[in-house]
Amino acid sequence: MPFTRPAAFTTRPTLQGTFGMSASTHWLPTAAAQAVLEGGGNAFDAAVAGAFVLHVVEPHLNGPGGDMTGIFVTADQPDKPVVLMGQGPAPAGATVEHYLAEGLDLVPGSGALAAAVPAAVDAWFLLLRDHGTWELDAVLDFAIGYARDGHPMLGRVGATIAAVGALFQAHWPTSADLWMPGGRIPAEGELVRNPAYARTLQRLVEAGAGESSREARIDAARREWREGFVAAAMVESVQAPHRHSSGMDHRGVLALADLAEFQAGYEAAATVEFRGHTIAKTGPWGQGPALLQTLAILAGFEDRYLDPSTELGAHTILEAQKLALADREAYYGDTDVPLDYLLSEEYCDSRRALITDRASHAFRPGSVPGHNPYRPLLRTGYVPPASASGRHGSGAAGSNAAGGGTADRHGPRSGSAAALGVGEPTVAQTGETRGDTCHIDVVDRWGNMVSATPSGGWLQSSPAIPELGFCLGTRLQMTWLEPGTPSTLTPGKRPRTTLTPTLVLRGGRAVTALGSPGGDQQDQWQLPYLLRTIVGGYSPQQAIDAPTFHTTSMPGSFWPRTWEPGGAVVEDRLGEDVIEGLEHRGHIVTRAGDWTLGRLSAVVRDPETGVLQAAANPRGAQGYAAGR
């Protein structure tokens, strides 16, 4: 049975050419990346240039104080996907004992206590040094120009600042000074500047001025970031107590030694075979292998079970995702993870057998010999503090619907966009923040291909550091303050990140780089793309445009770590018959609107012909692809 035919109309064409392609979540980084390709740079030069522009134009979705993961192949080794590891660990002072002594039972979602060691900048510099060709000053010139001379303000940036403005004015005055100059929020389309960040980048370039080689100049900038003026300013910024999402004031724990000792690096990718393709992801210190597990479970079904546009397909996909995401929570982290077993045919066969024609509302991690699955306290909602000065409580609120034997302790969850997982940040005067993410993909005419997902360091993460023009990230909120879990807060260990770019290989050569913002939904939104292109024959733009969905029936990775048993969020365009069918099967469906879920971009290369393609998300009228 073939997949449901995609609509003949797409919101934009799938771009095709032979020179080079760039795609990202914002048109200016895409344009910068493409300009580097046009200037003779390769895909790595282009991706780094675009990434630093993302810091400037999407500050509510990523920043220099955050993190990133990438995955790439080089033209001379197209069969060897490599992970670019830009996820910093917990600082030495980030112990469970310290956080409990601060009166916390979860790592806060905002404030410096939630900051891992910033890693994005070092990772991008490392990629440029080892695989790029351009000088650092030329690559950073685009971002420096937009920060110094200005760029048009996004409406979503203004909405984020407006929502958190009271917090800035009452508790984070440095953020108010940076993002609300003169006490007002810049209007959409107004030219805005960040001269402090422009100076920061310029000083990093100048740090290598006396070195004799391109590589040495980049390494000098890396040292200045880790040990020089940037490190000193970041550490100084966490010394003063400031408001966190706990409703209390805390100091951070980031220290100079934490920054000096960290360096980004490279790792082998985790992979699985699916319908003649190799899907490559990060290791289980990220959520990427959950997509691999889902594909391995789905591989045993006939094609008619895999069509995301049908009731049967959507149901089967949702149920497979729940099983993989339960294993994510039970086993994944920067620790000894039995990934070979979790991806094995025997294990995935056993998981597939649990899928019936009814929606599961249970938290169901699998059994792995020699390992005890972690079962978190399952919160079905959160009641924020009564005031900005109050501490969030732990009162009982309802019964547990997960079948896991633990009790809920929070009240009804907000129906906000972020609570539904539709991708945009939410913020509150209490200091509660959620942020989202960016994405960029580039392929060049030689066959270099990179997919990267920068995030963290959102403008609403923690107080701005005035002399640097950015703030620290909040990735530690993805750890637990309970001993013995695979992702317990541990000094020197990476939090289990949600950042999860993807590479697809066919016949031993890379053919697709893709990814999406969306936190826990990143892989869930990439999965229908893979099924529609690999099995259903969709073009890249058809697959991105097609209606999508995701489950919320798993513990969230972000503070306050809630879940919604049986929850499924769908775009209304999925169709009344499909949506009603899912409800009939027992899914608790939330309709999110017609064009709300997923913000994918992708680039494609046919190794046989050299023809390149690119596509980007139309939702929000912001993502863009370019190429020729």
> How high is the pLDDT of residue 618?
96
Q: Would you call the peptide bond into 412 cis, given omega within 30 degrees of 0 as the criterion? A: no
For residue 357, is it within any domain?
no
414: CB partners within 8 A, 6+ apart: 381, 382, 426
572 or 416: which carries more pLDDT confidence? Answer: 572
Place of tokens 């070092």: 122
Kindly write down the DSSP assignment for every residue of 19-35, as one continuous string: SEEEEESSHHHHHHHHH
Residue pLDDT, tens place only, 101-127: 999 999 999 999 999 999 999 999 999
Strand, helix or coil at 453?
strand
The domain that holds 101 is classified in CATH as: 3.60.20.40
3-class SS of residue 266: strand
Judged by average pLDDT, the poorest of 5-14, 123-132, 158-167, 212-221 is 5-14
Residue 36: enclosing H or E segment and its boundaries?
Answer: helix 27-38
Provide CB contacts within 8 A for 567, sequence distance 6+.
Answer: 551, 552, 553, 587, 588, 590
Both tokens of residue 516?
A: 């999406």
**Residues 541-545: what's their mean pLDDT?**
97
377 band by pLDDT with thresholds 50, 70 and 90: confident
For range 150-168, the mean pLDDT: 94
Helix (H) or strand (E) holding 330: helix 311-331
Q: Using the predicted structure, report yes or no on whether residue 512 has a pLDDT greater than 60.
A: yes
The DSSP bridge partners found for residue 279 are 272, 504
Neighbours of 356 (CB within 10 A): 11
Q: Are 458 and 62 in contact (CB under 8 A)?
A: yes
**Rounded to 5°, angle at Cα 613 from 286 and 598:** 45
The predicted pLDDT at position 67 comes to: 97
Backbone phi and psi for residue 181, each to the nearest 5 degrees, phi listed first = -60, 135
Distances in Å between the alpha carbon of 174 and those of 20, 66, 183, 210, 460? Answer: 41, 18, 12, 34, 12
Summarised one tens digit per residue, pLDDT across range 433-491 is 445 789 999 999 999 999 999 999 999 999 999 999 999 999 999 999 999 899 999 99
Residue 84 phi/psi, 5-degree rounding, is -90, 110
Q: If DSSP states are collapsed to H, E and C, what string results for 266-286?
A: EEECEEEEECCEEEEECCCCE
Task: Specify if 93 maps to a domain.
Answer: yes
Tokens at residue 483, please? 């001993």
Instruction: Indicate if the pLDDT at residue 384 is higher than 90.
Output: no
Contact (CB, 8 A) for 91 and 253: yes
Q: What number of residues does the chain have? A: 628
Per cent of the chain over pLDDT 90 is 86
Q: What is the domain range of residue 186?
A: 15-268+416-627
Task: Provide the pLDDT confidence category of residue 562 given band limits of 50, 70 and 90.
Answer: confident
| Token pair belonging to 445 | 């005419």
**What's the distance, CA 620 to chain centroid?**
17
Most confident segment among 46-50, 106-110, 375-379: 46-50
As a whole number of angstroms, the distance between CA 450 and CA 433 comes to 30
Residue 382, pLDDT > 60, answer: no
| Residue 168 pLDDT greater than 90, yes or no | yes
In this prediction, residue 378 carries a pLDDT of: 75
In a domain, 539, yes or no: yes
Question: What's the CA gap between 552 and 419, in Å, rounded?
Answer: 9
**Average pLDDT score over residue span 9-30:** 97
- Looking at beta carbons, which pairs linking 618-622 to residues 24 or more positions away fall under 8 Å? 618/11, 618/12, 618/544, 618/545, 619/595, 620/156, 622/25, 622/26, 622/27, 622/154, 622/156
Cα–Cα distance between 261 and 489 in angstroms, integer? 18
The domain tally of the chain equals 1
Distance separating alpha carbons of residues 518 and 523, to the nearest angstrom = 9
> Cα–Cα–Cα angle for 229, 47, 325, nearest 5°?
95
Question: Would you give the end-to-end CA distance of the chain in angstroms?
Answer: 36
- The mean pLDDT value for 575-592 works out to 97
Residue 401 in any domain: the answer is no
In this structure, are residues 360 and 553 in contact, taking their beta carbons and an 8 Å threshold?
A: yes
**Which among 183, 176, 236 is positioned nearest to 460, based on CA atoms?**
176
Give residue 381's pLDDT: 59
Task: Tell me if 599 sits within 8 A of 514, measured CB to CB.
Answer: no
Residue 362 lies in a domain: no
**Averaged pLDDT for residues 498-527:** 96
Backbone angle region of 103, left / alpha / beta, with phi > 0 → left and psi within -120 to 50 → alpha? left
pLDDT score, position 435: 54
Q: Looking up tokens 């009814």, which residue turns up? A: 358
Query: Quick one: pLDDT at residue 376?
Result: 83
| 306: Cα separation from own chain's centroid | 25
Q: Is residue 355 included in any domain, yes or no?
A: no
Instruction: Give the pLDDT of residue 35.
Output: 98
For residue 239, being part of any structural domain is answered with yes
Q: Quick check: is 393 in a domain?
A: no
Reported as a single tens digit per residue, the pLDDT across 388-442 is 222 222 222 222 222 332 222 222 233 344 344 334 333 333 334 445 789 999 9
Q: Please give the pLDDT value at position 186.
A: 96
User: CA 347, CA 341: separation in Å to the nearest integer?
Assistant: 7
Task: Give me the residue label for tokens 């640097």.
Answer: 468
Summarize pLDDT for 329-376 with one digit per residue, the tens. Answer: 999 999 999 999 999 999 999 999 999 999 999 999 999 999 999 988
Q: Across the strands, what pairs with 77?
A: 74
Q: What is the mean pLDDT of the chain?
A: 90
